[in-house]
Structure 1
Amino acid sequence: MIRLDSISKQNGQRLVFIEASAALQRGEKIGLVGPNGAGKTTLFRMITGQEEPDEGQILVDRGVSIGLFSQDVGEMAGRSAVAEVMDGAGAVSEVAAELATLETAMADPDQADRLDAIIERFGDVQARFEELGGYALDGRAREVLDGLGFSQEMMEGDVGKLSGGWKMRVALARILLMRPDVMLLDEPSNHLDLESLIWLEQFLAGYDGALLMTSHDREFMNRVINKVIEIDGGSLTEFSGDYGFYEQQRALNEKQQQAQFDRQKAMLAKEISFIERFKARASHAAQVQSRVKKLEKIDRVEPPKRRQTVVFEFPQAPRSGDTVAALRGVHKRYGSRVIYDGLDLLVRRRERCCVLGVNGAGKSTLLKLVTGTTEPDEGSVTLGGSVKLGYFAQHAMDMLDGDRSVFETLDRAFPQANQGALRTLAGAFGFSGDEIDKPCRVLSGGEKARLVMALMLYDPPNFLVLDEPTNHLDIATKEMLIAALAQYEGTMLFVSHDRHFLAALSNRVLELTPDGIHQYGGGYTEYVARTGHEAPGLHAG
């Protein structure tokens, strides 16, 4: 359906693609992977014609419709979420608009002399609307929005009043409703909660077009894709299978290439040593000459390109008392909405509690109560002895000073630390080379999240409260964070929609339900086994 034929592309001084080729066939669900800045977004833009390759061509079969979801959703206002979603449904939305215009015209006395022609046209347009499934469209739009977590009020309300994250969901719903022949999804999992994420997995499993997507959620990738295209160093490499298979295959390829490189290196050393030894002897001149020629003809094996994986070991947190946080008889409401009605909860040392609950169940509120960001209406929240608290929330990213560079931010926070240690810290969180001198105001959401995390973990608190810490992190940074937190000896209370993160780090689950907190020991994996579902809003079967 889509072929990339020897494409080359340069952005400024950087070569993004060098004679790269790949293809996307009907029914293929492909995960596009590669380090940050490798050119994933550029590739999407070239397929949709927003950018041209410098050389080579991108061939799209005739009549193939393409839908692109990107993080840049543009302006939305003045319409309901349902209308906004239906507007993107291709031809049917144009027909719907003409129907509405004709309905207005039929009721307009000034156009009475044209009434017969208008009615005739209305009949034709209505038939076309029905043929395109127009009347079922409203229901389908609502079904998609419901799957992505919208309440009825949100569907009917002005889309302009929604937050950025919810507007993203509207933009995603638009592409899903359109069901184009090819879907290009750039980070569709970013702003979704666990229920919506699992709904989206099921939706994409039933979608019969071709899919090309990027995602920082490995579990989501594993369940959706059946092929991986890796962008690295300007070329595109295809792997059949899911993300887990790609990782194994990549490691195996690296190992084989290293072995080949080592073998060739040993062989070359032997030949060179022979040449050096005998080049001055006339009796060996012919042999030396033939070996020099042989060496000139050999294709050199390159050593494997190693992904930079930085491991950062966090200093040990000081020990706290056995009771870390205690909530007694806590009541909390927002307006007429009761969030907690007499909540009791005890968090003990070294517990890693993940908080699950449907949208609006009060997950973030619980974290705000524990951290003192929000006061209870009644009841008490107390932290135990020697507790040193660290709180990561999305708003922490807005607190960074835009004029300071990444390095200045770290240096100001830890004036006693030596520069080498701060550079290692920055490198572990993905700031290498010149990136350490970037001012905070130009950082992306992901970069800001990584910087805030680095600030919090360099001198670690013994009680970490994390609200969606992995939202903007790429897979490599997430892996580094999971490995580091697995060694962490303090206590954790966290909300996350990343199942890999939940399973790797939790040892207790707090599920918020209308009739209080249900608790499960053994962490997220145990919770799934016991309940038969992966999130509170989904039920087995």
Structure 2
Amino acid sequence: MIRIENVSKQNGHQILFIEASASLLKGEKAGLVGPNGAGKTTLFRMMTGREAPDEGQIGVDRGVTIGFFSQDVGEMAGRSAVAEVMDGAGPISGVAAELKAVEAALADPERLDEMDALIERYGEVQGRFEELGGYALEGRAREVLAGLNFSEEMMDGDVGALSGGWKMRVALARILLMRPDVMLLDEPSNHLDIESLIWLEQFLRGYDGALLMTSHDRAFMNRIVNKIVEIDGGSLTTYSGDYEFYEAQRAQAERQQQAQYERQQAMLAKEIKFIERFKARASHAAQVQSRVKKLEKIERVEPPRRRQTVLFEFQPAPRSGDDVVTLSAVHKGYGAKRIYEGLDFQLRRRERWCVMGVNGAGKSTLLKLVAGAATPDEGGVALGANVKMGYFAQHAMELLDGDRTVFQSLEDSFPQAGQGALRTLAGCFGFSGDDVEKKCRVLSGGEKARLVMAKMLFDPPNFLVLDEPTNHLDIATKEMLIQALSSYEGAMLFVSHDRHFLAALSNRVLELTPEGVHKYEGGYTEYVARTGQEAPGLRG
């Protein structure tokens, strides 16, 4: 359906692709992977004709329709979310808009004199709307929006009033409703809660077109893709299988290449030693000449390109008392909405609670109460003896000073630390070389999250309160964080929609539901086994 043939592409001084080739065939569901800045978004833009390759070509079979979802959703305002979603379905959206306009005119008392003409026009437009399957389409649009967790009120309200994250869901819903022959999805799992993620997973598994997507959620990708296309060093390499299989295959290929490289290096060293030893002897001139020519013809094996992953290791945190935090008979509400009525909860040393609950259940509110960022209306929140807390909140990224560089920001937080220690810290969180000189204002969401996390973990707390810590992180950074937190000896209370993160780090589950609070011994994996559901909102 789509063929990428010997494509080369350069952005400024950065070479993204060198004679890269790959294909996407009918019915294939492929994951596109590679480090940040490798060219994943550029590849999508070339596949949709928004950018042209410098060399080579991208061929799309005749008549193939392509739907492209990117993080840059543009302006949306003045229409309902349903109308915005239906807009992607071609001419039907124009007919739907006219139908709404004629309905409004029919209800306008100042246009009574046009009533006959309006009724006639309404019949014509309604007939055309029915002919195009408009009523069924609106039903499907609402179904898709409901899957992405929109309430009826949000579906019918002005899309301009929605936050950026919800607008992204509208843009995604538009592509899903289109059901094009090929979907190109750039980070569709961003900004989705766990229930929406699982709904989208099921939708994409049932979609019969071809799919190419990026995602920082490995569990999400694993359940959908049957092929991985990797961008690395300017080339595209295709692996059959899901993300787990790709990781294993890539590691094996690296080991084989390393062994091949080492064997060749040993052979070359032996040959060079012989040449050096006998080059001055006339009796060995022919042999030396023969070996020199042989060396010139040998195709050199390159060592595998190693992805730079630096592991972060915690300094020992001071030991807290056994009781870390206790909530007693806590009441909390916002206006008329009651979040908690008489909540009792205790977290003890070495416990790692993940908090589950649908949107609006009070997950972030609980973390704010524990962290002291919010106060209960009634009841008490008490921290235990010697508790030193680290709180990661989404708004923490907005508090970074935009005029300071990454390195200056670390120095401001830790003036006593040596330059070497801070550079190592920066490297662990993905800031190597000149990256430490970037001003905070130009950092991406992921870079800001990594910097905030580096500042929080350097002088280690013994109690971590984390609100969606993985939201903007790529797979490699998440893996580093999971490995670091696996050996962390303090207590944790966290919210995340990343199931790999939940399963790897939790040993308790606190589930917030309209019927009350449920506590589960064992981590997220045991919770899923016990309840038969991956999230509270999926329970029928």
TM-score by length of 1: 0.96
Q: Please give the alpha-carbon distance, in whole angstroms, between the structure 2 residues aligned to 1:104 and 1:389.
A: 57
Q: Is the 8 A contact 2:102 2:118 kept in 1?
A: no
Q: Is the 8 A contact 1:105 1:111 kept in 2?
A: no
**Residue deviations 1:146-182, cap 9 Å, x none?**
1111111111111111111111111111111111111
1:90 is displaced (CA, Å) by 2.5
Which residue does 1:355 correspond to in 2? Answer: 355
1:539 is displaced (CA, Å) by 2.6
1:80 is displaced (CA, Å) by 1.4
Worse-matched range after superposition: 239-248 or 291-300: 291-300
1:115 is displaced (CA, Å) by 8.8
Which residue does 2:410 correspond to in 1? Answer: 410
Q: Please give the alpha-carbon distance, in whole angstroms, between the structure 2 residues aligned to 1:99 and 1:291.
A: 83
Which residue does 1:442 correspond to in 2? Answer: 442
Worse-matched range after superposition: 300-309 or 286-295: 286-295
Which residue does 2:419 correspond to in 1? Answer: 419
Which residue does 2:491 correspond to in 1? Answer: 491
1:95 is displaced (CA, Å) by 3.9
Runs of 4+ in 1 over 6 A off after TM superposition: 101-116
Q: What does residue range 332-351 of structure 1 map to in structure 2 within 5 Å?
A: 332-351=332-351
Structure 1 gap segments, 5+ residues each: none
1:131 is displaced (CA, Å) by 4.4
1:438 is displaced (CA, Å) by 0.5
Q: Please give the alpha-carbon distance, in whole angstroms, between the structure 2 residues aligned to 1:443 and 1:512.
A: 34
Q: Is the 8 A contact 1:106 1:112 kept in 2?
A: yes
Q: Please give the alpha-carbon distance, in whole angstroms, between the structure 2 residues aligned to 1:438 and 1:91.
A: 46
What count of residue pairs does the alignment treat as equivalent? 537
Which residue does 1:7 correspond to in 2? Answer: 7
Residue 530 (structure 2) pairs with residue 530 (structure 1): yes
1:57 is displaced (CA, Å) by 1.0
The residue matched to 2:315 in structure 1 has which SS? coil
The residue matched to 2:536 in structure 1 has which SS? coil
Q: Percent identity?
A: 78
Which residue does 1:216 correspond to in 2? Answer: 216
Q: Please give the alpha-carbon distance, in whole angstroms, between the structure 2 residues aligned to 1:422 and 1:101.
A: 62
The residue matched to 1:236 in structure 2 has which SS? strand
Q: Please give the alpha-carbon distance, in whole angstroms, between the structure 2 residues aligned to 1:210 and 1:476.
A: 26
Q: Please give the alpha-carbon distance, in whole angstroms, between the structure 2 residues aligned to 1:129 and 1:279.
A: 88
Which residue does 1:149 correspond to in 2? Answer: 149
Which residue does 1:390 correspond to in 2? Answer: 390
Q: Please give the alpha-carbon distance, in whole angstroms, between the structure 2 residues aligned to 1:115 and 1:331.
A: 55
Which residue does 1:503 correspond to in 2? Answer: 503
Residues 510 and 64 of structure 1, relative CA distance in 2, 3 Å threshold: same
Q: What does residue range 248-397 of structure 1 map to in structure 2 within 5 Å?
A: 248-397=248-397
Q: Is the 8 A contact 2:509 2:520 kept in 1?
A: yes
Q: Please give the alpha-carbon distance, in whole angstroms, between the structure 2 residues aligned to 1:105 and 1:453.
A: 56
The residue matched to 1:460 in structure 2 has which SS? coil
Q: Is the 8 A contact 1:102 1:122 kept in 2?
A: no
Q: What does residue range 135-284 of structure 1 map to in structure 2 within 5 Å?
A: 135-284=135-284
Q: Please give the alpha-carbon distance, in whole angstroms, between the structure 1 residues aligned to 2:106 and 2:398.
A: 53
**Residue deviations 1:394-419, cap 9 Å, x none?**
00000000000000000110011111
The residue matched to 1:305 in structure 2 has which SS? coil
Residues 109 and 516 of structure 1, relative CA distance in 2, 3 Å threshold: closer
1:400 alignment partner AA: L
1:288 is displaced (CA, Å) by 1.5
The residue matched to 1:88 in structure 2 has which SS? helix
Worse-matched range after superposition: 512-521 or 453-462: 512-521
TM-score by length of 2: 0.96
Q: Is the 8 A contact 1:187 1:213 kept in 2?
A: yes
The residue matched to 1:153 in structure 2 has which SS? helix
1:324 alignment partner AA: V
**Residue deviations 1:290-323, cap 9 Å, x none?**
1111111111111111111101111111111111
Structure 2 gap segments, 5+ residues each: none
Q: Is the 8 A contact 1:323 1:349 kept in 2?
A: yes
Q: Please give the alpha-carbon distance, in whole angstroms, between the structure 2 residues aligned to 1:243 and 1:291.
A: 45
1:270 is displaced (CA, Å) by 1.5
1:129 is displaced (CA, Å) by 3.7
Which residue does 2:57 correspond to in 1? Answer: 57
Which residue does 2:432 correspond to in 1? Answer: 432
2:282 alignment partner AA: A
Q: What is the alpha-carbon root mean square deviation over aligned residues? A: 2.0
The residue matched to 1:17 in structure 2 has which SS? strand
**Residue deviations 1:244-295, cap 9 Å, x none?**
0000000000000011111111111111122222222222222221111111
